Every structure is written in structure tokens, then in C-alpha cells.
């Protein structure tokens, strides 16, 4: 199976997803269920779940379908959804205008190396909104990729941001619920930004990028306390985390990740600076590229164990003008891309 089709009402989608995932979440949910933080559990039961069921009734219904098919406990599932800040990923995104395919958005998804079998590609065909295609974790409720309107999205974790405690909201939404709203309902980069600004996020910070079929591209720095947006008027543009990174305060243990983020961006800028125009093949070659020295940060196609923890677990290339997504599960330098096209 190259990708899973999920269609129908939210409950049906959740049920089918659980049947596909099998026992994947058991160990993870058992782990979170053992974290006996009584105050956190009270907050989940008394604040978070009612908030989600009120603000996101369709996604709450999808969770119910997942729970009914899997037998998992609701409290444990929502504890996991609100504990995703413990996960760490360092992905790389690029938006570019090519001479032969028009505007293109591409992402190399870089995760802890053992996450490779836990990522997959999905084609969502919900009964409301629009269909969309992309990659996600098993057990997740969002996708990063492209929807039928040609809106593309991606991002990278920036979990080490220092935020003022008195500015953090009392509750909010997991990022995967907000990104799901973007993919299912937004048709333009501007509409995507409106959704990110409208919904309070209660999750780790991320650098995001969106590109629509008309070529409008925006970078978004988002956390629990702010949503900062930059119009990307000159392509190619890159997202390996926050833009204007040095304007923010970072935890001491995260500063090496900030430097790695800068190195990947510098690698991309040097790669594309060599040409005035760019072909689609130039982009594909770039996604498969490595620097000459694995000991130096900046790689875009990342390999384990050359890099001690991370590897590129998936790659996808979105071509809005053709309503087409090329996708591969694994390192793009050694894994052929397959092709998904939305029906006309």
C-alpha cells in the first residue's frame, strides 16, 4: 500500500485510521498513561477535552471513531495530543518558482531515525471541506502536503523558544488540529494565516510555510503566545524553523539546534545562488543533496548513522498547477518518488 485513503464522515475516518494503525499507539499511550501528573489529568478532563469538543466537533468525532475502533482510553489519547511538545523534529521546506512546473513546494521530513516506520502518506476525502494528500505520523489527525485547491503547507519544530509564562493561554488546541483545519478548508495562503491567527495553539513552537496555487508564499513563526508572519516576495524561500531566528530568546540546550537550522538554510541559499532560473529537476536534485562533510551541519537529505539521531523519513514535492504530489517514504537520494494526482 502506497498511501491510505480516508473518506466519509469524521467518525468513519477515525475508525478506519485506527484499523490501519493497529497496535502502533499502544506502547505510546501506555507510556503517557503512566505519567501520573494529577493536575495535568484534571486539566485534560476538565478544560482540554471540553474545549476540543466545543471548538472542534468534527475532530472530536474523529477521535471518538478512533477510540471506539482501537479500545484506547479518551483521557490517555488527549494526554498524548497535548504532550506532543516532547517530540522533536527538524524538517526542511522550500518554496520555489521553476521554469517548467511553475510554483512548487517541497519538504524533507527529518525525524528521529526510528520514526521511519511510523510515518505514512494519506489521501483524505472528508465529507466536508476539500480533499488533501500528504504525510503524517500514524495516530495523528493532520497532514502536511497539498489540498485540492493547490494550497501547500509544511513546517519545522522550534521547541526551545522562551516564552513569558504570564502570556501563555489557559488552554488551546494541539497544532495538528489547527493544521488539519488549514488543509481541509483553506484555499489560499492568506486564508491559512487567518486560521493560524484565529485559533490559540497549546503546543510547541513551530516555523511554518504555506504556498498557494497563485504563488503567494508566507512564513509563520507560531507559539502559544504569538503568531508572526512574513510575506515571502522573492523565491526560493526556505523554512528550516523560525525566520529572524536571532530576534527570539532560546533555551540554552536548544541553541545548537538553532545553529543547525541556520546551516541548512545557508546550504540551500548557496545551492540555488548558482543559477538565475531553476528547473523542476534542479529542485529534485537539491532534495537529494548532501554536503561534502557529514560532520558539518546543513545537510538536506539526512542519513542515519552519519547524523547520530536524525534521518529524512519522508519527502514530498507539491506542484499546484498540476494538482500533483510526488512522494517518497525514506531518503529521496535512494528512494524513487511516486506520483499522486487529484482527480479532475
pLDDT digits (tens, 9 = 90+) for 272-289: 998 889 999 999 999 999
The mean pLDDT of the chain is: 93
pLDDT band at 296 (very low <50, low <70, confident <90, very high): confident
Q: Of how many residues is the chain composed?
A: 344
The yes-or-no verdict on residue 270 having pLDDT over 60 is yes
pLDDT band at 318 (very low <50, low <70, confident <90, very high): very high
The yes-or-no verdict on residue 1 having pLDDT over 80 is no
Query: Which range is least confidently modeled, 35-39, 131-135, 136-140?
Result: 35-39
The whole-number pLDDT of residue 31 equals 66
Contacts of residues 116-120 at CB distance under 8 Å and 24 or more positions apart, as own/partner, are 116/311, 116/313, 116/329, 116/330, 118/24, 119/313, 119/314, 119/329, 120/3, 120/4, 120/329
pLDDT band at 35 (very low <50, low <70, confident <90, very high): low
Backbone phi and psi for residue 333, each to the nearest 5 degrees, phi listed first = -70, -15
Give strand ranges (E) for 114-194: 119-126, 132-137, 144-147, 152-157
The whole-number pLDDT of residue 103 equals 98
Query: What is the percent of the chain where pLDDT is above 70?
Result: 97
Top mean pLDDT of 85-94, 102-111, 301-310 is at 102-111
d(CA 317, CA 336): 12
Kindly list the domain boundaries of the chain, sorted by start residue: 4-82, 88-341
C-alpha cell belonging to residue 133 = 494528500
The pTM of this model reads 0.95
What CATH number should be reported for the domain whose range is 88-341? 3.60.60.10
CB 243 within 8 A of CB 230: yes
Q: Per residue in 145-168, pLDDT tens?
A: 999 999 999 999 998 999 998 999
The yes-or-no verdict on residue 51 having pLDDT over 80 is yes
Amino acid at each position: 500500500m502506497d498511501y491510505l485513503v480516508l473518506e466519509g464522515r469524521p467518525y468513519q475516518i477515525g475508525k478506519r485510521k485506527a484499523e490501519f494503525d493497529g497496535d502502533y499507539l499502544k506502547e505510546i499511550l501506555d507510556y503517557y498513561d503512566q505519567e501520573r501528573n494529577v493536575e495535568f489529568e484534571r486539566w485534560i478532563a476538565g478544560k482540554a477535552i471540553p474545549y476540543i469538543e466545543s471548538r472542534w466537533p468534527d475532530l472530536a468525532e474523529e477521535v471518538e471513531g478512533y477510540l471506539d475502533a482501537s479500545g484506547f482510553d479518551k483521557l490517555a489519547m488527549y494526554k498524548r495530543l497535548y504532550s506532543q511538545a516532547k517530540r522533536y523534529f527538524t524538517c526542511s521546506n522550500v518554496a520555489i518558482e521553476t521554469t517548467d512546473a511553475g510554483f512548487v513546494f517541497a519538504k524533507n521530513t527529518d525525524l528521529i531515525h526510528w520514526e521511519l516506520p511510523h510515518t505514512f502518506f494519506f489521501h483524505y476525502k472528508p465529507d466536508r471541506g476539500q480533499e488533501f494528500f500528504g504525510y503524517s505520523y500514524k495516530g495523528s489527525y493532520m497532514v502536511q502536503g497539498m489540498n485540492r485547491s493547490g494550497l501547500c503547507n509544511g513546517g519545522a519544530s522550534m521547541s526551545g523558544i522562551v516564552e513569558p509564562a504570564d502570556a501563555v493561554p489557559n488552554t488551546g488546541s494541539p497544532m495538528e488540529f489547527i493544521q488539519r483545519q488549514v488543509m481541509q478548508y483553506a484555499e489560499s495562503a492568506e486564508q491559512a494565516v487567518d486560521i493560524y491567527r484565529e485559533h490559540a495553539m497549546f503546543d510547541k513552537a513551530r516555523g511554518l510555510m504555506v504556498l498557494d496555487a497563485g504563488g503567494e508564499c508566507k512564513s509563520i513563526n507560531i507559539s502559544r503566545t504569538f503568531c508572526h508572519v512574513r510575506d515571502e516576495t522573492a523565491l526560493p524561500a526556505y523554512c528550516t524553523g523560525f525566520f529572524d531566528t536571532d530576534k527570539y530568546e532560546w533555551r540554552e540546550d536548544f541553541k545548537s539546534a538553532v545553529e543547525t537550522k541556520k546551516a541548512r538554510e545557508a546550504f540551500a541559499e548557496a545551492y540555488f545562488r548558482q543559477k538565475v532560473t531553476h528547473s523542476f529537476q534542479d529542485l529534485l536534485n537539491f532534495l537529494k543533496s548532501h554536503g561534502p562533510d557529514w560532520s558539518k551541519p546543513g545537510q538536506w537529505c539526512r542519513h542515519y548513522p552519519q547524523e547520530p539521531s536524525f534521518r529524512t523519513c519522508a519527502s514530498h514535492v507539491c506542484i499546484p498547477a498540476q494538482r500533483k504530489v510526488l512522494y517518497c517514504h525514506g531518503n529521496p537520494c535512494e528512494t524513487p518518488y511516486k506520483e499522486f494526482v487529484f482527480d479532475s
